[in-house]
Structure 1
Amino acid sequence: MSSEKPIPLEGSIGPDPGLMADVMNSCNCSHDRAIKLLHWANNDPEKAKHHHRTLAAYMSRSRTSTSQSSTSTTPRSSTDMPQQARETGVLVNARMTKGRGLTVPPPTDGQILNVPIRNGRSLHTPSTDDGSSQSSEFIKPPREKRDESSCEIPQPAGSHFETRLEGGLPTPVETLQTTPKGNIEDSSKERAPQPPRQPEVVEGAQYMQETPVEQEVFQEPEWDFVLPTIPHPLTLTPGNNFDISEIAGAMQYGAPPEMIQNYLGYYDKRTVQKEINEGVQGFPAIFFAVATNNEATIRIWVAHGGDVNSVHGASGVPLLAFAILNSETIQEDTTRTLATLLSLGAIPNCIPAAFYTPFCRDLPDDGPEEQELGDIGEVDKKWCTVSARGRLAKMANLTHRYYLERAAKTKKPSIRHRQIALRRNAEALLGIPYFLIGQTVAANILLQKLLSHILIPGKRPLVLVFAGPSGHGKTELARSLGHLLSLELEVVDCTIFSREQELFGPRAPWAEWEKGSPLNNFLARKAGERCIVFLDEFEKTSRDIHQTLLLPFDSGDYEDRRNRSKIDCSKTIWILATNALDPTIKDFCSQNHDAVFIDDDQDKMASLMKQLSKQIKQEFLRIFDSPLTGRVSSFIPFLPFSPGEQAVVVHKYILELSQKVCTSVNLSPGPNEQLLGNIKLRIRRDASVCKVIADAEYHADLGARSLITAVKGLVEDVLVERYLEVDREIKEGEKVGMLVDINSGEIVVSIVDR
């Protein structure tokens, strides 16, 4: 997620003023141009300045090339160009149609030239002998109700309508831009004769070298997976008309989820549902929500009717593919965004299975071969070109591939599942299986028990036992449940309590009885509401505590120690996490090794897990006696990680390390001092790297904790060592590229050029 400062619900939306001043001073550019440069560079001023210098160098090269070519070709002179084209930089004899490229017919004297603009308005300009022109209709801004200062539609470098500067000279395709109303003269006024002049190069536009070849057609370039820049509103305030473009512009410039929710919630639900999947400059609006890489924003958008299976019509790129490729543009991890889309119903098959099945392998640099792709549909063939396959292979990391394969194999919720969850305000519950590494069966059992509990509510609360080795997702599943359902979670470490009053607070007249305890006060505050209490390492509690729990587990009532009053705990979800049943689970996995870790038979696995649940119930009864066992709603086993899952856990912690070391260096003494930072950490051959670490360091008794230690020792410590080996002072703003790779079976970390 973005680390930018939160933006108030009312106020300006845009880059930091200090960054803008820096770019304006260095590039000697306007306020609006600085905004475009910073947006293109994701608010990185150095990257913005570099891009400005690159554009300037190319424009200079273009002028030289144009001057030299004039001696060998006979293009129309500037005096033959319509006046408005010379003033605005719009090539008025071009015709752009979606998906068909750019056609340039030869001009004739007195011809009415027509340019269809994307907002549906055209520019008609009769040409005269002296090069001047009179226009019967001028280009109009796309939304007339907006303030004139915000009517310009800037196009970022690398947008759908502009070719990249990488790899030599760009494809000669014209970038069409609208011009603010204030810059267009009134057509009713008679113009003074204009002296002939050479056409000026306008920032952000590329002129096409005209040739005498008639009816030459230039194909539109492939979309480079960068969204066009939308004019940003000064405020996002609901008004008379719902405007999808305003929201897209606000999201591009960092509008927080609360602002988006307030805007969408203001209008009639049917109006929002009708408009929310409309296009903005040719792209489904949900693309702009996904580009924020903000889970909350995406969930808000989908809750109001956004389609997670949207496709960009011109290129055929599906939303899921864009979510992965967007990580290259924003230079952030997008695995959480991908998991969110899959949990909300996105179909993984829109991406060829060769990219993620099997997930734990290194993809070739150019992506899967043609024969691996198999018989893909026409839509996939349209967007999954050789170039796109290479970029997708580069950006689809191990965790992306794991989530895609898991989603492809997971049974989708039925219509009734969704109906019940929606009616009980628990639709996000259906996404639980998509946010865990491993523990698919545990997540599915939990999902079924929760749906049953909310469908047939009773007085008794839901009491669950999470049984399994330490470090295998028990706490993480509880936290995911609380996050998805927006429920408060109280985690209690049972190892520090030996007596009942330590856990629940003393009764009167014992000292400080009126203060209660953290658990007592949490239950009192959430009385009558849904919440979660997670009792970690429950086997460490005493029988005294077990006896106290019988009443709230059975009747849903609990006595508040502070005022001796009964409170309602019937909606509380109690989770008892224990390692006491580990021997039973390990024996089961040993006896059914192939079915658990190798085979992919979901029905057989479900049957085996039912048998395991019965075994751990019998063992729990032996350890904790019948009164407590009889009040447990379900026993959910957690299994050791398979080799592939171990590798994904390693990858997860390397991603977390990369986020930690990319923060900016701050040499100012004080609490914000940061001496290690500005590091761009990449993993080459991520599947091989993570498998080597997991094979060497994973321990079934420690689970993920053993892999955290491994990443620290084999990657983090070596990274710090390489960073300190550089024989020069640390400087703010100095970028460092580092690569994690494998060499002869050993993990290596090296400094590379960014």
Structure 2
Amino acid sequence: MAKKVNRKKKGYTAKTIAEPLPPNSPTTICTGDPLRVPLAPSTDLPWPSQRPVEPEKDELDFDARFFASVKSIPESDDDFSEILQANSPARTSISSYNSSTCTPEPLYIPEPLYIPEIELEPSDNTSSQENWEPEDDERIAKYKTRQIKLPGVKSRRDYEEFKSSAGKDWFFKDFFNRSMLPSAIVYYKTYDDFSVKEVARQLSVLPVAGCKYREVQTPLTAYRDSRINGTPTIFYAVYSRNPGKVKKWLKEGADPNSVADLKDLFDSKEDGYKLVPVKIPLLAFAILLEEPEIVRLLLTFGANPLVIPGILRLPVIKPAIYRLSKSPEGITKEFVENISQDEATKWCTDAVVFNRLKLATNLSIRYDLQKADTFKITARQRQLAQDPQPKMDYTPLFKLHFDIIGQNLAVKKIIQELLRRKVRKISSWPCESTRDRPTVFIFAGPKDHEQSKMVIQIARNLGIPFFSFSELDYTLCSDPDGKNNILELLLDEQAGSETKPDEVSEFCIFVLENVEEMSSGALNSLFTRPIKAKKDGFTSRDLSKTIWVVTTNILNPMITAFYEEHQPLTPEKMTGKEGRALMSAMKKFVRSGTTSLSVFADYVDSIIPFFPFDENEQLALAHRALWKLRSQLLRPISLANNYGRNFLGNIKLVTEKDYQHCRMIAKSYNPNEGAGSMKQAVADIEREIFYHFLESSEDAISEKDEKEVTEYILKVEKENDAILVQTGNVMPKEDF
């Protein structure tokens, strides 16, 4: 018998449990792993009795525990954030269950979906907040500032005042009490050699894990094992929000899976709030700071994405929707079993912690977590990449699949080929005559689908220079008689000259853009002549550390046809018969001699296809563009009359439903134009923000504005396909 709910909460209307779900209501489906397959809210149609549910694709921003404990259905079309808060792991658990595997089938629900009453049993794995009633909602409300803190870190102003009063010897004066070391790690400048050395020196005498006494450590051990009051020092590097510092700690051996036992993590301006102790993984700490770049860096060095609850690692869009093949009780039990009782995620069973993590896990971070979960870097690959010589350490290459949106096949092939080249160079190899040859890639596919960014990120991650050439560059650099030896001059500088064979070669990348537009003279000068082999089969220089990247649009029809026929492009397809057929067809075309690509036929190591972006990838691109705009608006206001003068700044961009804004941007995506086709949509948002900035106040920008941060809230007006800007909270800059 259905029961009625007596308790009413703000934003909810009590309903009979057995009533059917309206089309706007969230639900979850199962295809073996209920945490990975969302069923999104349906279209906003009237809800007649006995009508089948027809959901549309949407961003998954709700909690599957909806089935377990929601006994009242929200009337609004909000993104169910209140439901997620009300049903965090601290509030719902089920002790045990027997589950079976779900099989995907086409969606069809002839009868309306009912929610049966579910009796919940307490679990030993829930926190003290399990009896959630109004108390958890009050606790959550006290932490809406999203500020988190680390013990011992003072404000930047206090830090700078201490440095100023102590003078040049401030590190030495504070050597014994180290009260300022946490702040020093957070605020020191990575380009200041003195500060870098002094921080390393102080780290070397800190206690390390498993050691009760202070012993002087080597620099490697200092970064890797040093702790401040039990907290690994890499937490302070992450807290600095400086990816360069975090990378320094990681490269020196710090554990990306470090855990800190923090007694009071969250900051609140409310009086009488209770402390929120939590044993938090480093990855979750970076997410709470809302630092996607640092999150990607930690994942690159092996941070375990499974410490984040599966509901927050869901794909942005589910491309296929399947029928519910389980009862709501079964889905609920499976969800709770995976979230609340999983060893890796027990740390976030507190309602406040889970809610804050949910708020901070934006669309880009979800995409990166999903990628880390599906694109695996093996222990063998990491072993081959590591090297004591910084210039031979290829570990940063693994960041490519986070730097690049989509293009998983391209990233995989590049990593494989560069690791092969490295092993071939440092060990005996059957084919000695090819050891000094360069690595040659052909990047093929529609323009602006991460080809240029791939080159830039390879160069940046490995710390090597790259040089780009087009037909125009060749013409401008040629002598009056047509002779051009610019690339050979660069090779003399980077790879060692012919007259100095013992000269140590350096890594570098040469990019030949749109080779179909290059003349035969340009190709001969920029490629054939510099790498031509001698009679004994060896090249005239040691080019083993040089990489040639050739970009072309000639293969576009072949790649686009393959994509349209075989999407979604799963790893199984790309490594299976279909993928092999594509690679074979491209190789035959290159060797056919009908185009300028035949010049590279005898040298190319890998032809790499770049495919159009799917819907998930379009949204991820849009969000990264928004995040870049957010970073630009956060720049400090400066009224000084110098090069740093800036009036438009101290603005925190808030996107309450980031997937809606990203959908608006992604509508402008054109497969023939690539990522560039969405730039105008982002420029339109930037324009609206500036117009709002002009009209939001009649007062001139003053020193007061330099000390405050203002929220600009973006809201979507669906009926007009418009994005509106509103002014939100104004907060002191120090609090931000």
TM-score by length of 2: 0.62
CA, structure 1 residues 748+630, in 2 after alignment: closer, same or farther (shift >3 Å)?
same
Report the counterpart of residue 519 of structure 2 in structure 1: 542
Q: CA deviation at 1:533?
A: 1.1
Instruction: Give yes or no for contact 2:459–2:466 (8 Å, CA) kept in 1.
Output: yes
Report the counterpart of residue 723 of structure 2 in structure 1: 748
Instruction: Give yes or no for contact 2:654–2:713 (8 Å, CA) kept in 1.
Output: yes
Q: CA deviation at 1:460?
A: 0.6
Q: Give the alignment partner of residue 676 of structure 1, picking from 615, 623, 648.
A: 648
Distance 2:187 2:283 in 1: 22
Amino acid at match of 1:751: Q
Report the counterpart of residue 438 of structure 2 in structure 1: 461
Instruction: Give yes or no for contact 2:315–2:616 (8 Å, CA) kept in 1.
Output: no
Distance 2:200 2:150 in 1: 26
**Aligned 1:86-105 pairs, distance under 5 A:** none
Distance 1:243 1:350 in 2: 35
Distance 2:610 2:573 in 1: 17
CA, structure 1 residues 616+623, in 2 after alignment: closer, same or farther (shift >3 Å)?
same
Distance 1:638 1:323 in 2: 31
Q: CA deviation at 1:664?
A: 3.5
Instruction: Give yes or no for contact 1:553–1:631 (8 Å, CA) kept in 2.
Output: no
Instruction: Give yes or no for contact 1:276–1:306 (8 Å, CA) kept in 2.
Output: yes
Q: Give the alignment partner of residue 464 of structure 2, picking from 466, 471, 487.
A: 487
Instruction: Give yes or no for contact 1:295–1:336 (8 Å, CA) kept in 2.
Output: yes
CA-based RMSD of the aligned residues comes to: 3.7
Report the counterpart of residue 472 of structure 2 in structure 1: 496
Amino acid at match of 2:555: L
Report the counterpart of residue 683 of structure 2 in structure 1: 712
Instruction: Give yes or no for contact 1:472–1:638 (8 Å, CA) kept in 2.
Output: yes
Amino acid at match of 2:376: K
Report the counterpart of residue 434 of structure 1 in structure 2: 402
Instruction: Give yes or no for contact 1:536–1:577 (8 Å, CA) kept in 2.
Output: yes
Report the counterpart of residue 737 of structure 1 in structure 2: 711
- Greater Cα shift, 635-644 or 313-322: 313-322
Instruction: Give yes or no for contact 2:295–2:365 (8 Å, CA) kept in 1.
Output: yes
Are 1:344 and 2:301 matched, yes or no? yes
**Aligned 1:47-126 pairs, distance under 5 A:** none
Report the counterpart of residue 50 of structure 2 in structure 1: none
Are 1:693 and 2:616 matched, yes or no? no
Report the counterpart of residue 606 of structure 2 in structure 1: 634
Q: Give the alignment partner of residue 227 of structure 1, picking from 147, 150, 173.
A: 150
Report the counterpart of residue 582 of structure 1 in structure 2: 556
Amino acid at match of 1:406: K
CA, structure 1 residues 321+568, in 2 after alignment: closer, same or farther (shift >3 Å)?
same
Q: Give the alignment partner of residue 279 of structure 1, picking from 227, 252, 264.
A: 227
Amino acid at match of 1:322: F
Q: Give the alignment partner of residue 314 of structure 2, picking from 357, 367, 371.
A: 357
Where 2:280 maps in the other structure, the secondary structure is coil
Distance 1:245 1:428 in 2: 34
Are 1:405 and 2:370 matched, yes or no? yes
Q: Give the alignment partner of residue 630 of structure 2, picking from 644, 648, 658.
A: 658
Distance 1:592 1:166 in 2: 46
Residues 33-76 of structure 1 deviation map (CA, whole Å, 9 limit, x = unaligned): xxxxxxxxxxxxxxxxxxxxxxxxxxxxxxxxxxxxxxxxxxxx
Amino acid at match of 2:573: K
Aligned length: 505
Amino acid at match of 2:396: A
Report the counterpart of residue 239 of structure 2 in structure 1: 291
Instruction: Give yes or no for contact 1:532–1:574 (8 Å, CA) kept in 2.
Output: yes
Are 1:388 and 2:353 matched, yes or no? yes
CA, structure 1 residues 589+654, in 2 after alignment: closer, same or farther (shift >3 Å)?
same
Report the counterpart of residue 479 of structure 2 in structure 1: 506
Instruction: Give yes or no for contact 1:461–1:573 (8 Å, CA) kept in 2.
Output: yes
Where 2:289 maps in the other structure, the secondary structure is helix
Instruction: Give yes or no for contact 1:360–1:402 (8 Å, CA) kept in 2.
Output: no
Where 1:316 maps in the other structure, the secondary structure is strand
Where 2:260 maps in the other structure, the secondary structure is coil
TM-score by length of 1: 0.61
Report the counterpart of residue 566 of structure 2 in structure 1: 592
**Aligned 1:103-252 pairs, distance under 5 A:** 225-230=148-153, 248-252=182-186
Q: CA deviation at 1:625?
A: 5.6
Distance 1:668 1:338 in 2: 34
- Greater Cα shift, 456-465 or 666-675: 666-675
Instruction: Give yes or no for contact 2:515–2:596 (8 Å, CA) kept in 1.
Output: no
Identity of aligned residues (%): 24
Q: CA deviation at 1:683?
A: 1.0
Amino acid at match of 2:188: G
Q: CA deviation at 1:539?
A: 2.0
Distance 2:543 2:623 in 1: 40
Q: CA deviation at 1:724?
A: 2.5
Instruction: Give yes or no for contact 2:487–2:530 (8 Å, CA) kept in 1.
Output: no
Residues 576-622 of structure 1 deviation map (CA, whole Å, 9 limit, x = unaligned): 111221111111111112x32xxxx4222322333322222233333
Report the counterpart of residue 604 of structure 1 in structure 2: 573
Amino acid at match of 1:576: V
Instruction: Give yes or no for contact 2:188–2:196 (8 Å, CA) kept in 1.
Output: no
Instruction: Give yes or no for contact 1:325–1:392 (8 Å, CA) kept in 2.
Output: yes
Q: CA deviation at 1:397?
A: 1.1
Amino acid at match of 1:253: Y
Larger Rg computed on CA atoms: 1
Are 1:529 and 2:501 matched, yes or no? no
Distance 1:370 1:388 in 2: 22
Q: CA deviation at 1:255?
A: 3.6
- Ranges in structure 2 where 5+ consecutive residues have no aligned partner: 1-126, 129-137, 205-215, 263-277, 319-330, 426-434, 496-504, 730-736
Determine which structure has greater relative contact order: mean sequence separation of CA pairs < 8 Å that are 6+ residues apart, divided by chain length: 2
**Aligned 1:641-652 pairs, distance under 5 A:** 641-652=613-624
Report the counterpart of residue 158 of structure 1 in structure 2: none
Q: CA deviation at 1:571?
A: 2.0
Amino acid at match of 2:717: N
Q: CA deviation at 1:417?
A: 3.9
Instruction: Give yes or no for contact 2:441–2:548 (8 Å, CA) kept in 1.
Output: yes
Distance 1:629 1:681 in 2: 50
Amino acid at match of 1:739: I
